[in-house]
Amino acid sequence: MSSDNAVQPPVAVKKPHRVTFGYVEGEDRGPNPMNPPRYHDDPYFWMRDDDRKSAEVIEHLTKEKAYFEARSADIQSLRDEIYAEHISHIKEDDTSAAYVHGPYRYYTREVKGKSYKIYCRVPKDKEAGDDAAEQVIIDVNQVAEGKAFCDVMEVEPAPPEHDLVAYSVDLSGNEVYTIEFKKVSNEAEKVPDVVTGTNGDIVWGKDHTSLFYLTKDDTLRDNKVWRHVMGQPQSADVCLYEEPNPLFSAFMYKAADSNTLCIGSLSSETTELHLLDLRKGNAYNTLETVRPREKGVRYDVQMHGTAQLLILTNEGGAVNHKLIIASRERPGDWSSVLVEHSEDVFMENTVVRARYLVVAGRRAGLTRIWTMTVDPQDGVFKAGTGLREVEMDEPIFTVHLVESQMAEYEAPTFRMEYSSLATPNTWFDVQPGDHSRVAVKVREVGGGFDAGSYTVERRFATAPDRTKIPLSIVYHKDLDLSQPQPCMLYGYGSYGLCMDPQFNIKHLPYCDRGMIYAVAHIRGGSEMGRAWYEIGAKYLTKRNTFSDFIAAAEYLVESKMTTPAQLACEGRSAGGLLMGAVLNMRPDLFKAALAGVPFVDVMTTMSDPSIPLTTGEWEEWGNPNEYRFYDYMLSYSPLDNVRAQEYPNIMIQSGLHDPRVAYWEPAKWVSKLREYKTDSNEILLNTDMESGHFSAKDRYKFWKESAIQQAFVCKHLKSTVRMLARK
């Protein structure tokens, strides 16, 4: 079937609207708003409907959906083919790596034909999957029955017996969760407690009598920490902590030994943390401050026992962090340094157990893991011991700590997950002393997959300021690189988040069709250390993110690996901002682009404190209400820089209930692109009317969405036939 080229895209009406930048009476526009303010005309502002109920908006999005379906008809068979490949690569009946927690061994199962996970356990002396011993805790398929969207975020058994279980569920996609409860031993015994309006986090107290949760303010900012006592109504819950500053969000977690609740606030640049002694009962509400907030000082606290604090911090100019030991009695005394700051090693987070600690971080652009054990004489950590790096077998890889599967404070081993662009995920239990390891699960990849059929490389592009930008590249070993080939270039580059060279079956349909898949490790992430983000591409250096990505694309072309007519690009969320900016700056470099939930209306969104996330992200992008940032942010904001020029073929995905990047941003962008562009290339918008920012949680629906996007790329790059099929 061919696409209907005669069908016309919907044309959005224009309505006069003036957006204000700077001072607005009665609004928090930041500490130094422009006064008098400045104004922009936004004729598509009417698309914003915070309630998602406007008949006019829904009608417009529905017309966009119909246009998307009509123009995608010609790739229906290719989409089905790629979808079948994805399903062949996953093990539809599968069990996760199991781990011990209290009296049980926990794991999840997936069943062929069912969309969601089933949370299970067996007594810890049994093996996962033992049918006779298995207890089903939560079957998400049952929770989701009759629902268009379902996300079960956390499933937490209550100590010490683990009979009472709490789980958080979002049925709309707006990331507001309800916490419900069940008795595993007697499902017929209904637990009346229900906690609504939470962010989904669940932390039990010392036992099953109380739990802690977070709620949000009107802008969906996590701002309050509460204690709920089981058997009481939510109206009786006690607020332990409130963060009034809109730049900060509240958070909480329980220390590894389960005796202390850590409660705090953090912004992009500053942290403040407090301790609550859980041993003192449900009526004890006194918080101990570790260190009052100080602009620019971030820190994370882990407890070793109940007396020793291990604090990872950037204090004193330690951009890549240092690790400090402090006492519970004097938590603000940071004079004892356990691990000094290093220019070469970026320590990102620390996990502490009774006899060892594990540091996860980065060196030479790749993820790494280091360990330190306690002094065997007195059982404490000692300065001068040093960190020991866990060695890996491949030159290019990704390794992560799996802290969610490290539930036991006295455990002798830690859990790590390893993969590369060609090596499927393996979960290991590792001895912290000698780093010997045992594989507890290896991901099975079907559909004829052979890791030896793919080549993985690391190359470097050169940015305009001569900075070397790493690229991770994978392709089929039979691909003829003596001539240019179709290529997909992926990027993100914000918040210090890294796009690591890890295994994903999503790459395989590209590689198996003779395409190169490349990841650009651009500034804005932290791949080369924290300065790669903080100094390299934040605030008034943000444009480096875009020029780095352009340099990566130019490198692929100049090295004759591909050509602009064979090059596609992809980014999601803040990576969608990357796509929008780059396509305005260098549309000639690309034939096709995928933009998922793209943050493209930077100026309007970041000027409005009523929009979720805005105020907290003034420390990421800057605040366009201030003179200092207005012109610089305006110079790259995608929607504000659409111009009369040719653009590549673009497919855009959005979610109606997305609280992070509201649906109206991509909807406005599409309308303006169609208004200005001077070519006949496709601009398609696919809005999922039932999901939010993170797309479908139904695994089959997720892979169908991926398949249609990949089919779009393959069509425009003319890479539609599998290499493996030609052998």
Chunk the chain into consecutive blocks of 10 residues (it has 727) and report each block's average pLDDT, rounded to whole numbers.
Answer: 73 97 96 97 98 96 97 97 97 96 97 97 94 96 94 97 97 95 92 97 97 96 98 98 97 94 97 97 97 97 92 98 96 96 97 97 97 93 92 96 96 97 98 97 96 97 98 97 97 97 97 98 97 97 98 98 98 97 98 98 97 93 98 98 98 94 97 98 95 84 96 96 67
Closest by CA position to 427, among listed 95, 89, 90, 85: 95
Closest by CA position to 476, among listed 444, 507, 436, 431: 507
Which region, left, alpha or beta, applies to residue 559 given φ > 0 means left and ψ of -120 to 50 means alpha?
alpha
Euclidean distance between CA atoms 155 and 181, whole angstroms: 10
Token pair belonging to 511: 């590689």
DSSP strand pairing (426-430 vs 151-157): unpaired
- CATH 2.130.10.120 is right for the domain spanning 147-297: yes
Domains 18-35+56-87+448-725 and 147-297 equal at CATH topology level: no
pTM equals 0.96
Euclidean distance between CA atoms 39 and 703, whole angstroms: 43
Any idea which residue has 């709920």 for tokens?
228
Euclidean distance between CA atoms 616 and 625, whole angstroms: 14
State CA 426 to chain mean position distance.
Answer: 21
Q: Is 101 a residue of the active site?
A: no
- Written as one letter, the residue type at 498 is C
DSSP reduced 3-state for 345: strand
What per-residue confidence (pLDDT) applies to 691?
A: 84
Q: Is 573 a residue of the active site?
A: yes
Query: Could you tell me if 472 and 367 are in contact, meaning their C-beta atoms sit under 8 angstroms apart?
Result: no
Closest by CA position to 193, among listed 170, 227, 225, 223: 227
Active-site residue (options: 162, 476, 693, 716) = 693
DSSP strand pairing (356-363 vs 366-373): antiparallel
Helix axes 664-676, 55-71, angle to 10 degrees: 60
What per-residue confidence (pLDDT) applies to 383?
A: 87
What per-residue confidence (pLDDT) applies to 187?
A: 86
Measured in degrees and rounded to the nearest 5, phi and psi for residue 579 equal -60, -50
- The number of residues making up the chain comes to 727
Active-site residue (options: 658, 671, 695, 716) = 658
Neighbours of 404 (CB within 10 A): 11
Q: What angle do CA 386, 390, 393 make, to 5 degrees?
A: 150
Domain boundaries, the chain: 18-35+56-87+448-725, 92-138, 147-297
Measured in degrees and rounded to the nearest 5, phi and psi for residue 709 equal -65, -45
What per-residue confidence (pLDDT) applies to 1?
A: 39
Active-site residue (options: 210, 268, 573, 607) = 573
Residue 486 CB contacts under 8 Å (≥ 6 apart), including other chains:
513, 514, 515, 516, 562, 566, 567, 568, 717, 718, 719
Closest by CA position to 597, among listed 640, 653, 670: 653
What per-residue confidence (pLDDT) applies to 725?
A: 59
For the domain made up of 18-35+56-87+448-725, the CATH class stated in words is alpha beta
DSSP reduced 3-state for 61: helix
Closest by CA position to 448, among listed 515, 505, 516: 505
What per-residue confidence (pLDDT) applies to 705?
A: 95
Q: Tell me whether residue 431 is exposed, middle or buried, using C-beta atoms within 10 angstroms of its C-beta: 0 to 12, 13 to 18, 19 or more.
A: middle
